């Protein structure tokens, strides 16, 4: 065999080898997601993820809880004079508008101020507005984890009274699928009608 | 020698002193307040917001500099701003100024009276009184409906 033919054969084999490797990489299923639920990307940013929090009556609620229900996740704190209350009232009114379909949803209220809001305090606070809503708190670390997962902005402006401080925070209502995938986000002061319309979109 | 009638003299002096007080009414008299209300709250609530409609019915600017009430340890005028989905609340350190013949609304999502550390969480049957303090030290009490 001449050298040029040999070279051509080697080159062809290399091309075939490269193609085979490329094909294998393409077909490779990749690592399995075992730890946290999948979080869908929205405009390049993924929302949702693992969390472990406590209720006022000592239950542990995680992102895997209520697997048969859609979740409504709203963040706030009980020292909040206006926004948090309004959001809870709107969620409650929207659920009422859904009638029986409201059962498909599990509303959650998560405090972003675990220093003052113990699980018991958050539970008593939300019970006042709607007993379907579960109030959640936890250690600062646990709250930081969910704040990060949902990309909530939380900041305590400086120079405030250490007992009576206010907290700046994002005021969105999140709708999550049964498996914890992000579905939608709403403003806390959207009307109950508008919120109910969004809720209806995802009912099975 | 001219006899000075002290009685008449004192009377004239007193009326001269009284004139400035009568001429400029206190700020508290020129503020009209309506629809003053606050929401009924869960027993664990530690803060509250009060809302109301204000109107300056006088001819001078009114400056509301402080508020106080029995049901909370501290009260302040506060404002709220929504920026990029983030809710920020802060004190209006200079209080609220109302130009003559103007109206101002303290409402949900806007400026309001903020009560810190409630000593008593009001229910709908309670009477709540708020006292507004003006720059000229006059004060005005307003009854708040709990809804």
Determine the average pLDDT of the residues in A72-85: 93
**Of A16-20, A27-31, A60-64, where does the model show the most confidence?**
A60-64
CA distance B117 to B74: 7
- What is the model's pLDDT at position A25? 65
User: Number of CB pairs < 8 Å for A and B?
Assistant: 73
Instruction: Give the DSSP H or E segment for A18.
Output: helix A3-27
- Whether residue A83 and residue B87 make contact (CB cut-off 8 A), yes or no, is yes
Residue A38 has pLDDT above 50, yes or no: no
- Whether residue B43 and residue A121 make contact (CB cut-off 8 A), yes or no, is no
Beta bridge partners of B142: B130
Nearest neighbour of A86 by CB, restricted to B45, B108, B116:
B108
Determine the average pLDDT of the residues in A146-159: 94
Nearest neighbour of B85 by CB, restricted to A78, A164, A170:
A170
CA distance A137 to A54: 5
**Is the separation of the CB atoms in B57 and B44 below 8 Å?**
no
Question: Looking at the complex, does the CB of residue A168 fall below 8 Å from at least one CB of chain B?
Answer: yes
Task: Give 10-residue mean pLDDT values along chain B (147 residues).
Answer: 68 63 77 96 94 96 97 95 84 95 94 95 91 97 96
ipTM here: 0.76
Percentage of chain A beyond pLDDT 70 is: 88
- What is the model's pLDDT at position A3? 81
Cα–Cα nearest to A143, from A103, A176, A114, A108: A114
Residue of chain A whose alpha carbon sits nearest to that of B113: A81
- Whether residue B89 and residue A79 make contact (CB cut-off 8 A), yes or no, is no
Write out residues 35-74 of B within 8 Å (CB-CB) of A: 39, 41-49, 73-74
pLDDT tens for B66-101 read: 999 999 999 999 999 888 778 888 899 999 999 999
CA distance B110 to A86: 13
Nearest neighbour of B85 by CB, restricted to A81, A127, A172:
A172
Range scoring the smallest mean pLDDT among A118-127, A173-182, B80-89: B80-89
- What is the model's pLDDT at position A81? 85
A195: its two tokens: 């919120």
Residue A70 has pLDDT above 80, yes or no: yes
pLDDT tens for A1-13 read: 678 888 888 888 8
């Amino acid at each position: 065999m001449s050298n040029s033919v040999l070279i051509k054969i080697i080159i062809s084999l290399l091309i075939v080898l490269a193609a085979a490797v490329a094909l294998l990489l393409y077909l490779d299923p990749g690592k399995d997601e075992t730890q946290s639920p999948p979080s869908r990307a929205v405009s390049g940013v993924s929302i949702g993820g693992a969390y472990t929090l406590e209720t006022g009556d000592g239950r542990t609620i995680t992102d895997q809880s209520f697997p048969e229900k859609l979740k409504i996740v709203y963040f706030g704190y009980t020292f909040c004079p206006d926004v948090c209350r309004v959001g809870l009232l709107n969620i409650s009114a929207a659920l009422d508008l859904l009638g029986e379909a409201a059962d498909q949803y599990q509303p959650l209220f998560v405090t972003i101020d675990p220093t003052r809001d113990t699980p018991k305090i958050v539970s008593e606070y939300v019970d006042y507005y709607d007993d379907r809503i579960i109030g959640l708190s936890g250690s600062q670390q646990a709250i930081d984890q969910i704040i990060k997962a949902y990309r909530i902005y939380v900041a305590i402006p400086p120079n405030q009274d250490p007992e009576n401080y206010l907290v700046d925070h994002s005021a969105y209502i999140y709708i999550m699928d049964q498996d914890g995938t992000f579905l939608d986000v709403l403003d806390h002061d959207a009307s109950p009608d508008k919120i109910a319309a969004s809720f209806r979109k995802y009912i099975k | 020698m001219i006899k000075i009638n002290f009685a008449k003299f004192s009377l004239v002096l007193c009326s001269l002193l009284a004139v400035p007080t009568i001429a400029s009414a206190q700020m508290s008299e020129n503020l009209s307040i309506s629809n003053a209300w606050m929401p009924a709250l869960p027993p664990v609530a530690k803060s509250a917001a009060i809302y109301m409609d204000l109107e300056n019915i006088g001819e001078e600017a009114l400056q509301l500099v402080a508020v106080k009430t029995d049901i909370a340890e501290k009260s302040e005028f506060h404002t709220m701003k929504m920026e990029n989905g983030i809710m920020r609340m802060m004190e209006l350190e200079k209080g609220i100024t109302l130009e003559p013949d103007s109206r101002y609304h303290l409402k949900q999502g806007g400026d309001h009276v903020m009560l810190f550390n409630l000593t008593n969480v009001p229910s709908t049957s309670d009477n709540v009184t708020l006292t507004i303090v003006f720059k000229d030290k006059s004060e005005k009490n307003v009854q708040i409906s709990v809804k």
